[in-house]
């Protein structure tokens, strides 16, 4: 029997035929769909009912899915030299790139790895800061509560306290994370990749090294904007907190930016509002004053997509989604969107807060759901976004249309604010979007180096902070290796690649610029809303429907007419409007002479 098997595998490759490849793909897609649906259900349970059992089941279902992909990928190798129709060739390529994490072939190690990842996510999800664990048990703060303090407190001592408190979640997980890196790399190598990071970089329809360079190129395009914003914010924070707390030069202390990771600074707009800005509206206050609840916030989002011509969300979306943090159990509050049956069982999972920031996050999540529904009729291997940045960009693109005019149209504002005060509007957007860019970049700069071994476990924290200082110009104070601060971010704990968000923060402006033009908007980009534009909706949908059936430059061309990711749309959006010229029609302004420097 063994000899027979050996002979079979040694058969010449030419023995394979195109019909065999096509029928292999048909079977593969059927098996993957079933395994994916099962893993999604188990994953949903794990995230919405954190306990030992749901964690074990989710790990098992995930392991089964991963093993299925690995077995099929190996089988697919036999078609490598066959001239196949383009669609089948793309499917085979996507099959081999399907995984974010590969389990090693050794069964014990495979189980160990999937259990580790499930435990890391649960640990993060149920993480708490108990000020004094011994005496203060009832008063532990979860991440939602801590984030509210980060957003609203202006007491630097309190901010430093909760910032440090949350980061206590990391050290106990350092050993697990180290082992996770070892095992995930072992699996990636068995599948032919140098390491897990190289595998992640292989998913962009270009050589992995070229992708890394592409990311650097995009960063150089936007860096001058960030450097200016950083300098301005540091100055304002120094005015507010004093020279003892905020230095005149160098990095900004990490706890003062209104967000745990300093990834979005919109929550401290009140400290930074330009003096010549008209008083900006406060959407958080409007939502609270009008007693808009969590569900109604989601309905606003749905109505926007409906205005573009998308069908309403299915009834099950409203029945099965998690909108509010339950009081009786632990859940993973980090927002996510699901397509549980790869068909119409769409859901979001969020612990919605009534705030402007969360209003944006709702649109972000719905963008995922509408994307998922748009490509659901494609074959299984094409049911994904053009690249992962596209998935993250869709809802944000729609949210860029939340303009004063739009808010007036839907009755949340009485009167659109006067354009003479737009510097305030733009500042607020910059605090959300420009501030995010270096963070979106640095997380995977860290992980790519961790996976490649360039950063060793003994340097995890030191290198993390070197990158945060280099890209973000943000400092956490003395944070030696007794800490493990990367684990304080969801995507590190849950092993979700992050460069996608950096790309999304470029792409969403490209999409917005193109759709605004389709919608006939001639004004400044930051005042353009595609609300009610069926033409813009049709154009967006045409791209969404493609799924991942074509390389991403084709999808980008379908919506923007261009095949390159291009940050000039970001620069256009933030360009100063002058009478007689707008920031949409104006050529890109010079990017400034500080382009060569990081924040210093
Ligand atoms: O994780 C998310 C979404 C879910 S895909 C809420 N975002 C990143 C983050 O929160 O760190 C959206 C922007 C960046
Ligand atoms: Zn997302």
Q: Whose CA is nearest to atom 2 of ligand 1?
A: 335
Spacing, Cα 364 to ligand 1 middle (Å)? 8
pLDDT, tens digit, 9 for 90 and up, residues 212-250: 999 999 999 999 999 999 999 999 999 999 999 999 999
With pLDDT > 90 as the criterion, what percentage of the chain qualifies?
Answer: 89
The least confident of 71-85, 114-128, 270-284 is 270-284
Q: What's the rounded Cα separation, in Å, for the pair 176 and 115?
A: 10
Q: Rounded mean pLDDT of the chain?
A: 93
Q: 349 CB less than 6 Å from ligand 1? A: no
336 lines ligand 1 (CB under 6 A): yes
Query: Can you tell me which residue has the tokens 């592409």?
Result: 214
The active-site residue, picked from 31, 344, 491, 545, is 491
Q: Which residue has the higher pLDDT, 585 or 471?
A: 471
Interior angle at CA 253, CA 248 and CA 259, nearest 5: 130
Half-sphere exposure of residue 387: CA atoms within 13 angstroms, side-chain side: 25
To 5 degrees, how large is the angle CA 80–CA 85–CA 89? 40
Check pocket membership of 361 for ligand 1, CB cut-off 6 A. yes
Domain assignment present for 195: no
Do the beta carbons of residue 114 and residue 63 sit within 8 Å?
yes
Distance 71 CA to ligand 1 centre (A): 32
CA–CA separation, 240 and 477 (whole Å): 19
- Position 592 scores a pLDDT of 29
- The answer to whether position 13 is within a domain reads no
How many Å is the maximal CA-CA distance in the chain? Answer: 83
Give the position, in ligand 1's atom list, of the atom nearest the Cα of 261: 11
Task: Name the residue of 335, 395, 490 whose CB sits within 8 Å of the most ligand 1 atoms, as the mutation to test its pocket.
Answer: 335
Does residue 311 fall inside a structural domain? yes
What's the 419 CA to ligand 1 centre distance in angstroms? 30
11, part of any domain: no
pLDDT of residue 581: 37
Place of tokens 């082992």: 179
**Mutation test of ligand 1: which of 348, 501, 504, 507 has the most ligand atoms closer than 8 Å to its C-beta?**
501
Structure token pair of residue 494: 């849950």
Strand partners, 581: 578
* Domain tally, the chain: 1
Query: Is residue 299 domain-resident?
Result: yes
Mind listing the pLDDT tens digit for each residue in 2-42? 444 444 444 444 579 999 999 999 999 999 999 999 999 99
Task: Give the pLDDT confidence score for residue 10 in this predicted structure.
Answer: 45
Known active-site residue 491: yes
Phi, psi dihedral angles at 151 (to 5 degrees): -80, -30
Q: What is the structure's pLDDT at 262?
A: 98
Tokens of 105: 């072939």
pLDDT at 135 (0 to 100): 60
- Ligand having the closest approach to the CA of 335: 1
Q: Is the CB of 489 under 6 A from ligand 1?
A: no
Output the CA 144–ligand 1 centroid distance in Å. 14
pLDDT score for 420:
80
Ligand 1 site, residue 501, Cβ cutoff 6 A: yes
| C-beta atoms surrounding 248 within 10 Å | 8
| Ligand 1 atom nearest to 504, measured from its CA | 13
Q: What is the pLDDT of residues 528-568, one digit of tens each?
A: 999 999 999 999 999 999 999 999 999 999 999 999 999 99
Structure-token match 């704990």, residue found: 493
Best residue for ligand 1 mutational test, from 338, 358, 361 (most atoms within 8 Å of Cβ): 361
Active-site pick, 121, 365, 512, 526: 365
Centroid of ligand 1 to alpha carbon of 89 (angstroms) = 32
Kindly state whether residue 453 falls inside one of the protein's structural domains.
Answer: no
Predicted confidence (pLDDT) per residue in 32-70, tens digit: 999 999 999 999 999 999 999 999 999 999 999 999 999
Convert the pLDDT of each residue in 315-363 to its tens digit: 999 999 999 999 999 999 999 999 999 999 999 999 999 999 999 999 9
Ligand that comes closest to the CA of residue 395:
2
Residue 500 CA, ligand 1 centroid: distance in Å: 10
Distance 348 CA to ligand 1 centre (A): 13
458 contacts: CB under 8 Å, gap ≥ 6 = 481
Query: Which atom of ligand 1 is closest in space to residue 436's alpha carbon?
Result: 14
CA angle 419, 436, 287 (to 5 degrees): 55
Segment 163-173 shows an average pLDDT of: 98
- CA distances (Å), origin 273, targets 258, 428, 430: 14, 8, 12
Q: How far is the CA of 109 from the centre of ligand 1 (A)?
A: 30
Over residues 366-385, the mean pLDDT reads 98
The answer, yes or no, to whether any atom of ligand 1 lies below 6 A from the CB of 335, is: yes
182 among known catalytic residues: no
If you average pLDDT over residues 280-293, what whole number do you get? 94
132 band by pLDDT with thresholds 50, 70 and 90: confident
Q: Is residue 347 part of a domain?
A: no
Predicted local confidence at residue 577, as pLDDT? 62
Burial of 426 (0-12, 13-18, 19+ CB in 10 A): buried
Pocket perturbation via mutation, ligand 1, pick of 266, 364, 492 by most ligand atoms within 8 A of CB: 364
Ligand closest to 264 (CA) is 1
Confidence of residue 126 (pLDDT cuts 50, 70, 90): very high
Note the pLDDT of residue 573: 98
**In this structure, is residue 393 part of a structural domain?**
yes
In the predicted model, is pLDDT for residue 584 greater than 50? Answer: no
Q: Which helix (H) or strand (E) holds 231?
A: helix 208-241
Measured from the Cα of 490, ligand 1's closest atom is 11
Q: How confident is the model at residue 421 (pLDDT cuts 50, 70, 90)?
A: confident
Confirm if 295 and 323 have CB atoms less than 8 A apart: yes
Domain with 527, as residue range(s), is 283-319+353-430+499-574
């Amino acid at each position: 029997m063994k000899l027979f098997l050996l002979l079979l595998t040694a058969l010449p490759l030419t023995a394979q035929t195109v019909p065999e490849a096509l029928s292999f793909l048909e079977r593969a897609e059927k098996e993957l769909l079933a395994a994916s649906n099962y893993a999604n259900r188990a994953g949903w349970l794990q995230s919405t009912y954190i306990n030992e059992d749901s964690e074990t089941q989710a790990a098992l279902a995930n392991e089964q899915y991963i093993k299925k992909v690995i077995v099929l990928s190996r089988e697919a190798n036999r078609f490598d030299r066959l001239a196949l129709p383009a669609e089948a060739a793309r499917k085979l390529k996507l099959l081999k790139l399907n995984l974010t994490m590969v389990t090693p072939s050794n069964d014990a190690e495979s189980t160990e790895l999937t259990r580790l990842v499930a435990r890391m996510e649960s640990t993060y999800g149920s993480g708490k800061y108990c000020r004094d664990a011994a005496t203060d048990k009832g008063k532990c703060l979860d991440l939602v509560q801590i984030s509210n303090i980060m957003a609203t407190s202006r007491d630097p001592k309190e901010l430093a306290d909760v910032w440090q408190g949350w980061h206590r979640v990391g050290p106990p997980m350092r050993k697990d994370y180290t082992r996770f890196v070892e095992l995930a790399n072992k699996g990636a190598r068995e599948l032919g990749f140098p390491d897990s990071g190289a595998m992640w970089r292989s998913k962009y329809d270009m050589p992995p090294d070229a992708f890394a360079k592409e990311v650097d190129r995009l960063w150089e395009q936007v860096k001058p904007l960030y450097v200016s914003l950083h300098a301005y914010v540091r100055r304002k924070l120094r005015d507010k907190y004093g020279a003892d707390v905020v230095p005149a030069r160098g990095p900004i202390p990490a706890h003062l930016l209104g967000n745990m990771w300093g990834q979005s600074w919109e929550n401290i707009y009140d400290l930074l509002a330009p003096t010549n800005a008209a008083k900006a509206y406060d959407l958080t206050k409007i939502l609270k004053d009008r007693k808009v609840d969590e569900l109604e916030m989601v309905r606003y989002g749905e109505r926007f997509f409906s205005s573009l011509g998308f069908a309403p969300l299915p009834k099950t979306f409203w029945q099965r989604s998690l909108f509010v943090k339950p009081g009786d159990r632990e859940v993973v509050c980090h927002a996510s969107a699901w397509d549980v049956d790869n068909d119409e069982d769409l859901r979001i999972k969020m612990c919605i807060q009534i705030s402007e920031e969360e209003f944006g996050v709702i649109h972000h999540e719905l963008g995922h759901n509408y994307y998922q529904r748009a490509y659901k009729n494609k074959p299984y291997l094409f049911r994904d976004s053009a690249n992962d940045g596209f998935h993250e960009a869709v809802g944000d693109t729609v949210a860029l249309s939340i303009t004063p005019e739009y808010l007036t149209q839907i009755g949340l504002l009485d009167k659109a604010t006067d354009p003479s005060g737009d510097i305030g509007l733009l500042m607020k957007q910059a605090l959300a979007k420009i501030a995010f860019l270096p963070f979106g970049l640095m997380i995977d700069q860290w992980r790519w180096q961790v996976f490649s071994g360039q950063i060793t476990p003994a340097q995890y924290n030191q290198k993390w902070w070197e990158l945060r200082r280099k890209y973000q110009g943000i400092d956490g104070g003395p944070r030696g290796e007794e800490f493990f601060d990367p684990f304080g971010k969801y995507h590190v704990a849950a092993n979700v690649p992050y460069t996608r968000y950096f790309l999304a923060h470029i792409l969403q402006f490209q999409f917005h610029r193109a759709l605004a033009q389709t919608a006939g908007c001639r004004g400044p980009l930051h005042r353009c809303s595609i609300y009610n534009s069926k033409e813009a909706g049709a154009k967006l949908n045409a791209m969404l429907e493609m799924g991942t059936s074509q390389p991403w430059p084709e999808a980008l061309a379908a919506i923007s007419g261009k095949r390159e990711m291009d940050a000039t749309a970001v620069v256009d959006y933030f360009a100063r409007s002058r009478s007689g010229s707008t920031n949409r029609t104006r050529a890109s302004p010079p990017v400034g002479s500080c382009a060569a420097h990081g924040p210093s």
